[in-house]
Amino acid sequence: METAINQSITTEKEFSSSSKLLLAIPLYVYVSVIASMCVILGILWDIAWHMSIGRDGLFSAPHVVTYIGAAAAGIFSGYQVLKTSFWGNQLEKGKMVKFWGIFYSSLGGLFCIWGGIASLTSAPFDDWWHNTYGLDVQILSPPHAVLLLGLMSVQMGAMIAVLAFLNRSEKISSLSTEENAKRTNRLQWMFIFTAAFLITSIFTFLSESLGRWAMHEPSFYEVASAAFPFILFAAGRASNKKWGATYICIIFLIFHWAVNATLRLLPAEPLLGPIHNKITTYQTLGFPLLLFIPAFVSDWLRDKFSTKNDWILALILGGAYTIILLLTHYPFGTFLHESPLARNWFWGSESWSFQNDADWEYRFKFGPWSNKPLSEWIIGISLSFVFSFLSTRIGLAWGNWMKQVQR
């Protein structure tokens, strides 16, 4: 009986501690993190919808998920602005950014509000575009570009909203030393998750240049060397975790794979002709990039050469990133695109839009256009090194800025 009572007391204390930790971070910060996930979840589902079903309506299920995420981020951040501006005390206002003379908001909140408005504005624009020009043949159509800016603004807002609390290093008086440490760790992981969702968005919107069929071409490495290092090294530095970039890339891989792998299990059939590939389940984007491998090497080098100035560090990290990217993804592209072992639910290489010819000669092999001459490879990889260096240097500088954000 006494043991049961002690267990009950222990459980009650743990629950009380968890509740205090939950309340020690404002609700709008949690909502912005969840919204950051929802917007890219809706986009991945929408792409699969286009590949599998075809034309969608303004309020199709994927669109609704995206709208809810964007709207929630904007509404909760907007409420926080009004609450702080008209009912907040001077201490609360002092932690915010003043704008338009009377309003007070966190910097992350401003990003979320703007992103929510832009995302919702793109919805009728996208519907008009479809009604006028038909089904998209590219991911980056004009309305999707507006949507991209809005969604990435929401995700940036979530990152900055978390950072504002993480960088203050303030101790909550109602929490013990151990609980304050847990709060800091929670904020670090929330930031890592938001950075992973942003990486997922970048990869998704560049997927036409980063697919498995492109891994045998120099352009793949040019795009990947320009697109990812700046956010990886910025977020890795700002997270204050030794393996920050590695954690971000692992979460990106798991999240992107899990969403698409789940969709590939769900039934779907084309509702728009012509149908060149008869399908019965959702077709999705392929397997995500193995960015955690170059990120792991770069994190190790970042720690080893932490005393170097950022220009030299950018040269080391950027060079290592491009080399590891090439060594891992060229053979990985061969496996994904040509191996029968990759044509299954797990790897997703057999996913094929209903609009594409199922018997196309180069569906499972590289075409002759992928056989680039050595001179083109030398130029392409040289450019990749340059892009990676510049992207890394910008990322390190941005990471320094993010470590200073407190509002």
* CA 188 distance to own-chain centroid: 16
* Three-class secondary structure of residue 384 per DSSP: helix
The domain boundary residue, chosen from 170, 188, 205: 205
* pLDDT confidence bin for 292, thresholds 50/70/90: very high
Residue with tokens 């709207």: 71
10 Å CB burial of residue 59 (0-12, 13-18, 19+) is: exposed
Same domain, 216 and 191: no
401 and 311 within one domain: yes
- 180 and 233 in a single domain? The answer is no
* Any domain includes 89: yes
Q: Are residues 377 and 349 in the same domain?
A: yes
Predicted confidence band of residue 14 (pLDDT cuts 50, 70, 90): very low
Is pLDDT above 70 for 356?
yes
Q: What is the pLDDT of residue 142?
A: 65
> How confident is the model over 16-44, as a mean pLDDT?
78
Residue 15: partners with Cβ closer than 8 Å, 6 or more residues away: none
User: Do 372 and 402 sit in the same domain of this protein?
Assistant: yes
Residue 40 within a domain: yes
Per-residue pLDDT of 307-320, as tens digits, reads: 889 999 999 999 99
Give yes or no: residues 189 and 227 share one domain. Answer: no
106 against 389, higher pLDDT? 389
The per-residue pLDDT for 373 is: 92
Predicted local distance difference test score (pLDDT) of residue 118 = 74
Residue 245, C-beta contacts closer than 8 angstroms, at least 6 positions apart = 232, 233, 235, 236, 295, 298, 299, 302
> Stretch 217-233: mean pLDDT, rounded?
94
Spell out where 212-319 has E strands. Answer: none
Residues 257 and 185 placed together within one structural domain of the fold: no
**Residue that finishes a domain, picked among 205, 226, 250:** 205
Q: Residue 69's closest CA among 152, 135, 183?
A: 152
- Residue 60 and residue 49 in contact, taking contact as beta carbons nearer than 8 Å: yes
Asked, for residue 6, whether it belongs to a domain, the answer is no
Lowest mean pLDDT among 22-36, 112-126, 365-379: 112-126
Predicted local distance difference test score (pLDDT) of residue 327: 96
DSSP secondary structure code for residue 161 in this structure: H
Q: Are residues 281 and 402 in the same domain?
A: yes
Number of domains into which the chain is organized: 2
pLDDT digits over 75-131, tens only? 888 778 787 787 777 776 677 777 776 777 777 777 787 777 777 776 666 665 666
Range of the domain at 254: 208-407
Q: What is the dihedral of CA 47, 48, 52, 55, to 10 degrees?
A: -30
Where is 359: in which H helix or E strand? none
Percentage of the residues of the chain whose pLDDT score is greater than 90: 41
Gap between the Cα atoms of 154 and 143, Å rounded? 17
pTM listed for this prediction? 0.87
Query: Angle at which helices 177-205 and 229-238 pack, to 10 degrees?
Result: 180
Give residue 233's identity as a one-letter amino acid code: F
- Pick the more confident residue, 278 or 149: 278
The C-alpha angle with vertex 199 and arms to 198 and 200, in degrees rounded to 5, equals 90
Average pLDDT value for residue range 205-225: 93
What is the chain's length? 407
- Is residue 366 within a helix (H) or strand (E), and if so which, with residue range? none
A 10 A CB-CB count for 297 gives: 19
In a domain, 334, yes or no: yes
In sequence order, which ranges of 53-141 are alpha helices (DSSP H)? 61-87, 90-94, 107-133
16 domain residue, yes or no: no
- 229-238 helix and 244-263 helix, angle to the nearest 10 degrees: 120
Question: SS3 of 270, please?
Answer: coil
123/180 same-domain check: yes
Which band of pLDDT confidence, cut at 50, 70 and 90, is reported for residue 20? low
Alpha-carbon Rg of the chain, whole angstroms? 23
Domain limit, last residue, from 171, 205, 239: 205
In a shared domain, residues 201 and 215: no
Rounded Cα–Cα distance for residues 91 and 78 (Å): 19
Confidence of residue 138 (pLDDT cuts 50, 70, 90): low
The mean pLDDT of 357-382, rounded to a whole number, is 91
Q: What was the pLDDT predicted at 96?
A: 72
Half-sphere exposure in the Cβ direction for 359 (13 Å, CA): 2
**Mean local confidence (pLDDT), 120-149:** 63
